[in-house]
Amino acid sequence: MIPLPSLSTEEWVIVVTLFTGILAAAAAIIGAWWTKREPPGQVDFVDVRIIDKVFEYNIKLPEVRVRVQNTGDKGVVITQAKFHVNNSWNLGLQIPYAAALPISAEYGVKFDPNKAPPYTKVVEVSHSLEPDTADYFTFTLDLERPRASVLEVLYHLTFELTYNGALTTEPKELVCVIPDRASAEPSYFMEEYNERWDFTRQQGPPYGEYTQQSLQFFQENLEAAKEIDKDNRNVVSQVADLEAEFSSRVQELVEKAKRT
C-alpha cells in the first residue's frame, strides 16, 4: 500500500481544489464532445391504431396499423416488432356454443389462448428508413388455435419496435378482443340472457320439444348466468381502467357492461 504524503491542511485543500478542477474540465470536454457528435437515427410513432378487420365467416381480427418516421439524421433499420402480453381475460359464456368457427390468417401475429401472461411475442421485420422518411405497415392479431369453450379473448398488449440493434420506440398500450365475434351474439351479460329468454317465451304455446328444453335451460341456468355476468363485468371493469388504445369491440363491451 502506497503511503499518503504528509501534507498540511492548507496543502491538502490546494490538492483537492486542483483535483476537482481537473474533473470539472474533463466533464466539460466530454459534454462538448457529446453534444457535437453526429445525431443518431430516431424512430418515432406517428400513429398507432387498432381496428377490427373483417375476414371470412364475418369474423373480425384486430389489425394494428403503424405509421413511423425517422426524425434523426442517420438511416435506421427496423428489425423487430414486440408485443408484450401484459394480461388476458376469457369472458364466460352464459349460453354454451357447440364449437367456435375455425380461425385462419395468412400473416400476422398469433397468440396462444392457453398461455398465461406475461410473455412477449417477437415478430421479425425489416424496414429501412432514411432520415426524414416515413413508413406504414400492419399486424393482424389472431389466436394460434380455436377453443370450443371460448369465443373471444381480451388482450392487453404493449407494442414497440426495435431498430438499429437494441434501440426501441416509445411503447404503445393496446387493448383488443381476439377474435371479434360480435356477429355470433355471445351472451356475456344478463341483458343478453334475458333477451333470449324473452324471445323464447314469445314463441307462445303450444311449445315444441326444443322450445320446452330451451325454457327449462334458461330457468335452471339462471343463477349460473348471474355469476358469469358478475365475473364478466369485473373483467371488463378492469379493462376499462387501462390507459390504452381500445379496439371497437372492446369499446362495445365496456359500454354494454356499463349499460346492463
Spans of all domains in the chain: 43-183
pLDDT tens-place string over residues 90-109: 888 877 654 443 332 344 89
CA distances (Å), origin 121, targets 58, 95, 226:
26, 32, 35
pLDDT above 80: residue 43:
yes
Task: Give how far the C-alpha of residue 258 lies from the chain's centroid of Cα atoms, to the nearest Å.
Answer: 22
Q: What is the pLDDT of residue 108?
A: 82
The answer to whether residues 250 and 154 touch, using CB atoms and an 8 Å cutoff, is yes
DSSP annotation of 95 reads S
Name the least confident of 186-195, 207-216, 225-234, 238-247: 207-216
What integer pLDDT is reported at residue 105 of this predicted model? 30
For the cut 80, the answer to whether the pLDDT of residue 173 exceeds it is: yes
d(CA 215, CA 55): 34
Grid coordinates of 233: 363485468
Q: Cell numbers for 245, please give them.
A: 388504445
Q: What is the mean pLDDT of the chain?
A: 80
DSSP state of 39: P
Q: How confident is the model at residue 200 (pLDDT cuts 50, 70, 90)?
A: confident
What pLDDT score was predicted for residue 126?
A: 85
What residues have CB less than 8 Å from 251, skipping those under 6 apart? none
Point out the least confidently predicted range of 14-28, 36-50, 181-195: 14-28
pLDDT: which is higher, 71 or 105:
71
What distance in Å separates the CA atoms of residue 245 and residue 85, rounded to the nearest whole number? 14
Three-state secondary-structure class, residue 144: coil
Domain 43-183 bears CATH identifier 3.30.1330.20:
no
Entry pTM: 0.72
Rg (CA), the chain: 29
Confidence of residue 161 (pLDDT cuts 50, 70, 90): very high
